[in-house]
Amino acid sequence: MSTALASQTAIISGGLGDIGRAIARELASQGADIALCDLRPPADAEPFLSELRALGQRARYDVVDVSDASAMRAWVREVESALGVPTLIIPNAAQVTQADVRHLSAEQWRRELRVNLDGAFHLAQAGALRLVEHRKPGRIVFIGSWAAHRVHAHIPAYCVAKAGLRMLCQCMAVEFATHGILVNEVAPGIVDAGLSGRIMDGNDALRDSVRALTPVNTLVQPDDVAQAVAFLCAPNNRQMTGSVILQDGGLSLLTPKP
Protein backbone atom coordinates (compact mmCIF):
# COMPACT_ATOMS: atom_id res chain seq x y z
CA MET A 1 0.00 0.00 0.00
CA SER A 2 1.29 3.45 -0.93
CA THR A 3 1.96 6.14 1.65
CA ALA A 4 2.00 9.00 -0.86
CA LEU A 5 -0.87 10.74 0.94
CA ALA A 6 0.15 9.94 4.50
CA SER A 7 -0.78 12.70 6.99
CA GLN A 8 -3.43 14.01 4.56
CA THR A 9 -7.15 14.23 5.30
CA ALA A 10 -9.61 13.87 2.43
CA ILE A 11 -13.15 15.23 2.65
CA ILE A 12 -15.61 13.89 0.07
CA SER A 13 -19.25 14.84 -0.51
CA GLY A 14 -21.59 12.29 -2.04
CA GLY A 15 -19.32 9.80 -0.32
CA LEU A 16 -21.63 6.78 -0.38
CA GLY A 17 -22.20 6.82 -4.14
CA ASP A 18 -20.22 4.57 -6.46
CA ILE A 19 -17.75 7.28 -7.46
CA GLY A 20 -17.47 8.67 -3.93
CA ARG A 21 -16.64 5.23 -2.54
CA ALA A 22 -14.07 4.58 -5.25
CA ILE A 23 -12.35 7.90 -4.54
CA ALA A 24 -12.36 7.26 -0.79
CA ARG A 25 -10.95 3.76 -1.26
CA GLU A 26 -8.18 4.99 -3.57
CA LEU A 27 -7.11 7.89 -1.34
CA ALA A 28 -7.22 5.71 1.77
CA SER A 29 -5.06 3.11 0.03
CA GLN A 30 -2.47 5.86 -0.43
CA GLY A 31 -2.50 6.81 3.26
CA ALA A 32 -5.15 9.53 3.60
CA ASP A 33 -7.70 9.66 6.40
CA ILE A 34 -11.24 9.96 5.04
CA ALA A 35 -14.33 12.02 5.89
CA LEU A 36 -17.50 11.32 3.92
CA CYS A 37 -20.91 12.96 3.81
CA ASP A 38 -24.14 11.97 2.12
CA LEU A 39 -27.86 11.93 2.86
CA ARG A 40 -28.16 8.21 3.61
CA PRO A 41 -28.50 7.04 7.24
CA PRO A 42 -25.29 6.34 9.20
CA ALA A 43 -25.98 2.60 9.31
CA ASP A 44 -25.56 2.49 5.53
CA ALA A 45 -22.00 3.79 5.90
CA GLU A 46 -20.72 1.42 8.59
CA PRO A 47 -19.61 -1.48 6.35
CA PHE A 48 -17.69 0.91 4.11
CA LEU A 49 -16.11 2.75 7.04
CA SER A 50 -14.92 -0.64 8.32
CA GLU A 51 -13.36 -1.30 4.93
CA LEU A 52 -11.48 2.00 5.03
CA ARG A 53 -10.32 1.43 8.60
CA ALA A 54 -9.04 -2.00 7.60
CA LEU A 55 -6.63 -0.13 5.32
CA GLY A 56 -5.19 1.48 8.44
CA GLN A 57 -6.87 4.86 8.04
CA ARG A 58 -9.24 6.85 10.21
CA ALA A 59 -12.66 7.32 8.63
CA ARG A 60 -15.92 9.03 9.54
CA TYR A 61 -19.32 9.61 8.00
CA ASP A 62 -21.85 12.39 8.57
CA VAL A 63 -25.29 13.11 7.19
CA VAL A 64 -25.03 16.56 5.61
CA ASP A 65 -27.04 18.38 2.93
CA VAL A 66 -24.46 19.96 0.63
CA SER A 67 -26.92 22.63 -0.46
CA ASP A 68 -26.91 24.05 3.09
CA ALA A 69 -23.93 26.41 3.28
CA SER A 70 -23.87 26.69 7.08
CA ALA A 71 -24.11 22.92 7.45
CA MET A 72 -21.16 22.46 5.11
CA ARG A 73 -19.04 24.98 7.01
CA ALA A 74 -19.91 23.24 10.28
CA TRP A 75 -19.04 19.85 8.81
CA VAL A 76 -15.62 21.03 7.63
CA ARG A 77 -14.93 22.27 11.16
CA GLU A 78 -16.08 18.97 12.68
CA VAL A 79 -13.80 17.02 10.37
CA GLU A 80 -10.93 19.35 11.25
CA SER A 81 -11.47 18.67 14.96
CA ALA A 82 -11.67 14.91 14.47
CA LEU A 83 -9.15 14.17 11.72
CA GLY A 84 -7.19 17.35 11.11
CA VAL A 85 -7.55 20.11 8.56
CA PRO A 86 -8.90 18.63 5.30
CA THR A 87 -6.15 19.03 2.71
CA LEU A 88 -7.81 17.03 -0.09
CA ILE A 89 -11.24 18.48 -0.86
CA ILE A 90 -13.45 16.52 -3.26
CA PRO A 91 -16.86 18.05 -4.10
CA ASN A 92 -18.55 15.01 -5.60
CA ALA A 93 -22.25 15.08 -4.60
CA ALA A 94 -24.58 15.30 -7.59
CA GLN A 95 -28.03 14.48 -8.85
CA VAL A 96 -29.58 14.41 -12.29
CA THR A 97 -33.11 15.10 -13.51
CA GLN A 98 -34.16 13.57 -16.83
CA ALA A 99 -36.41 16.25 -18.24
CA ASP A 100 -35.90 18.49 -21.24
CA VAL A 101 -36.23 22.28 -21.06
CA ARG A 102 -39.92 22.12 -21.97
CA HIS A 103 -40.79 19.84 -19.07
CA LEU A 104 -38.25 20.69 -16.36
CA SER A 105 -40.02 22.23 -13.37
CA ALA A 106 -38.73 25.29 -11.57
CA GLU A 107 -38.14 23.24 -8.42
CA GLN A 108 -36.23 20.53 -10.31
CA TRP A 109 -34.05 23.24 -11.85
CA ARG A 110 -33.40 24.91 -8.49
CA ARG A 111 -32.70 21.66 -6.64
CA GLU A 112 -30.24 20.41 -9.23
CA LEU A 113 -28.25 23.64 -9.25
CA ARG A 114 -28.35 23.77 -5.44
CA VAL A 115 -26.80 20.30 -5.20
CA ASN A 116 -24.53 20.13 -8.23
CA LEU A 117 -23.22 23.70 -8.27
CA ASP A 118 -24.02 25.43 -4.98
CA GLY A 119 -23.11 22.33 -2.98
CA ALA A 120 -19.74 22.04 -4.70
CA PHE A 121 -19.08 25.72 -4.05
CA HIS A 122 -20.00 25.46 -0.37
CA LEU A 123 -17.58 22.58 0.28
CA ALA A 124 -14.76 23.99 -1.85
CA GLN A 125 -15.02 27.46 -0.34
CA ALA A 126 -15.25 26.22 3.25
CA GLY A 127 -12.30 23.90 2.79
CA ALA A 128 -10.14 26.45 0.98
CA LEU A 129 -10.69 29.10 3.64
CA ARG A 130 -9.65 26.69 6.40
CA LEU A 131 -6.47 25.86 4.48
CA VAL A 132 -5.68 29.56 4.10
CA GLU A 133 -6.39 30.14 7.80
CA HIS A 134 -3.95 27.37 8.75
CA ARG A 135 -1.41 28.34 6.06
CA LYS A 136 -1.56 24.85 4.59
CA PRO A 137 -1.31 23.82 0.94
CA GLY A 138 -3.99 21.55 -0.45
CA ARG A 139 -5.85 20.16 -3.41
CA ILE A 140 -9.44 20.72 -4.51
CA VAL A 141 -10.72 18.31 -7.15
CA PHE A 142 -14.21 18.88 -8.52
CA ILE A 143 -16.02 15.93 -10.05
CA GLY A 144 -17.44 17.47 -13.19
CA SER A 145 -18.66 15.95 -16.44
CA TRP A 146 -18.21 16.00 -20.18
CA ALA A 147 -21.76 17.42 -20.10
CA ALA A 148 -20.14 20.73 -19.14
CA HIS A 149 -19.20 21.29 -22.77
CA ARG A 150 -21.56 19.02 -24.74
CA VAL A 151 -25.32 19.48 -25.01
CA HIS A 152 -27.43 16.71 -23.48
CA ALA A 153 -30.97 17.86 -24.27
CA HIS A 154 -32.56 15.40 -21.84
CA ILE A 155 -30.59 16.70 -18.81
CA PRO A 156 -30.21 20.47 -19.32
CA ALA A 157 -30.03 21.39 -15.62
CA TYR A 158 -27.18 18.95 -15.14
CA CYS A 159 -25.32 20.39 -18.16
CA VAL A 160 -25.72 23.96 -16.89
CA ALA A 161 -24.60 23.02 -13.37
CA LYS A 162 -21.50 21.23 -14.63
CA ALA A 163 -20.62 24.10 -16.97
CA GLY A 164 -20.83 26.46 -14.02
CA LEU A 165 -18.71 24.09 -11.98
CA ARG A 166 -15.95 24.27 -14.58
CA MET A 167 -15.79 28.06 -14.40
CA LEU A 168 -15.91 27.91 -10.60
CA CYS A 169 -12.91 25.59 -10.73
CA GLN A 170 -10.98 28.06 -12.87
CA CYS A 171 -11.91 31.07 -10.73
CA MET A 172 -10.87 29.27 -7.55
CA ALA A 173 -7.65 28.10 -9.16
CA VAL A 174 -6.62 31.71 -9.73
CA GLU A 175 -7.85 32.87 -6.33
CA PHE A 176 -5.94 30.31 -4.27
CA ALA A 177 -2.85 29.55 -6.35
CA THR A 178 -0.55 31.73 -4.25
CA HIS A 179 -1.63 29.80 -1.16
CA GLY A 180 -0.39 26.50 -2.57
CA ILE A 181 -3.95 25.27 -3.18
CA LEU A 182 -4.34 23.64 -6.59
CA VAL A 183 -7.88 23.42 -7.98
CA ASN A 184 -8.77 21.05 -10.81
CA GLU A 185 -11.62 19.03 -12.31
CA VAL A 186 -12.04 15.40 -13.33
CA ALA A 187 -14.73 15.22 -16.03
CA PRO A 188 -15.97 11.69 -16.68
CA GLY A 189 -17.98 10.70 -19.71
CA ILE A 190 -20.55 7.93 -19.32
CA VAL A 191 -19.79 6.05 -16.12
CA ASP A 192 -21.02 2.47 -15.77
CA ALA A 193 -22.13 3.25 -12.21
CA GLY A 194 -23.65 6.09 -10.24
CA LEU A 195 -26.17 8.37 -11.96
CA SER A 196 -25.71 7.07 -15.51
CA GLY A 197 -25.28 3.51 -14.29
CA ARG A 198 -28.74 3.59 -12.71
CA ILE A 199 -30.22 4.66 -16.04
CA MET A 200 -28.63 1.64 -17.73
CA ASP A 201 -29.33 -0.86 -14.95
CA GLY A 202 -31.34 -3.79 -16.26
CA ASN A 203 -31.03 -2.59 -19.83
CA ASP A 204 -28.12 -4.44 -21.38
CA ALA A 205 -29.11 -3.32 -24.87
CA LEU A 206 -28.79 0.33 -23.83
CA ARG A 207 -25.45 -0.33 -22.12
CA ASP A 208 -24.12 -2.11 -25.22
CA SER A 209 -25.31 0.66 -27.54
CA VAL A 210 -23.68 3.35 -25.41
CA ARG A 211 -20.45 1.38 -25.27
CA ALA A 212 -20.50 0.96 -29.05
CA LEU A 213 -20.81 4.75 -29.49
CA THR A 214 -17.66 5.34 -27.43
CA PRO A 215 -14.48 5.39 -29.55
CA VAL A 216 -12.46 3.40 -26.98
CA ASN A 217 -15.37 0.89 -26.78
CA THR A 218 -15.43 0.88 -22.98
CA LEU A 219 -17.41 2.80 -20.40
CA VAL A 220 -15.83 4.77 -17.58
CA GLN A 221 -15.50 2.87 -14.31
CA PRO A 222 -15.53 4.50 -10.86
CA ASP A 223 -11.93 3.39 -10.33
CA ASP A 224 -10.91 5.35 -13.44
CA VAL A 225 -12.28 8.51 -11.85
CA ALA A 226 -10.67 7.70 -8.51
CA GLN A 227 -7.23 7.24 -10.03
CA ALA A 228 -7.46 10.58 -11.83
CA VAL A 229 -8.44 12.26 -8.56
CA ALA A 230 -5.49 10.64 -6.80
CA PHE A 231 -3.15 11.88 -9.54
CA LEU A 232 -4.34 15.46 -9.01
CA CYS A 233 -4.00 15.07 -5.22
CA ALA A 234 -0.45 13.72 -5.39
CA PRO A 235 2.24 15.87 -3.70
CA ASN A 236 4.36 15.72 -6.85
CA ASN A 237 1.58 17.44 -8.82
CA ARG A 238 2.82 20.97 -8.32
CA GLN A 239 1.85 22.71 -11.57
CA MET A 240 -1.62 21.63 -12.68
CA THR A 241 -4.32 24.05 -11.58
CA GLY A 242 -7.48 25.18 -13.32
CA SER A 243 -7.16 22.09 -15.51
CA VAL A 244 -9.67 19.46 -16.62
CA ILE A 245 -8.89 15.76 -16.93
CA LEU A 246 -11.47 14.63 -19.49
CA GLN A 247 -12.34 10.93 -19.27
CA ASP A 248 -14.99 10.45 -21.94
CA GLY A 249 -13.35 7.77 -24.08
CA GLY A 250 -13.34 10.16 -27.04
CA LEU A 251 -17.11 10.78 -27.07
CA SER A 252 -16.79 14.54 -27.28
CA LEU A 253 -14.57 14.22 -30.36
CA LEU A 254 -17.49 12.93 -32.40
CA THR A 255 -20.05 14.95 -34.34
CA PRO A 256 -23.61 13.63 -33.82
CA LYS A 257 -25.17 12.09 -36.89
CA PRO A 258 -27.86 14.24 -38.52
Burial category of 46 from C-beta neighbours within 10 Å (exposed 0-12, middle 13-18, buried 19 and up):
exposed
Smallest CA-to-CA distance from 185 within 101, 109, 243 is with 243
Percentage of the chain beyond pLDDT 90 is 87
Which residues, in sequence order, are CB contacts of 4 under 8 Å at separation 6+? 30, 31, 234, 235
Q: What is the pLDDT of residues 206-222, one digit of tens each?
A: 888 888 889 999 999 99
pLDDT exceeds 60 at position 258: no
The confidence score (pLDDT) of residue 210 equals 83
Q: What's the pLDDT at 256?
A: 62
pLDDT of residue 255: 67
Q: Of 182, 67, 185, which is closest to residue 122 (Cα–Cα)?
A: 67
Q: How confident is the model over 123-131, as a mean pLDDT?
A: 98
C-alpha closest to that of 16 among 74, 61, 52, 67: 61
Please give the full DSSP string across 76-93, using - where no structure is assigned: HHHHHHHH-S--EEE---
Q: Which fold has domain 9-190+221-245?
A: Rossmann fold (3.40.50)
Summary mean pLDDT of the chain: 95
User: Over 90: is that where the pLDDT of 140 sits?
Assistant: yes
Q: Which residues pair with 185 in a beta bridge?
A: 142, 244
Indicate whether 121 pLDDT > 70.
Answer: yes
Asked if 126 and 76 touch (Cβ cutoff 8 Å), the reply is yes
pTM of the predicted model over 0.85: yes
Model confidence at 165, in pLDDT bands (50, 70, 90)? very high
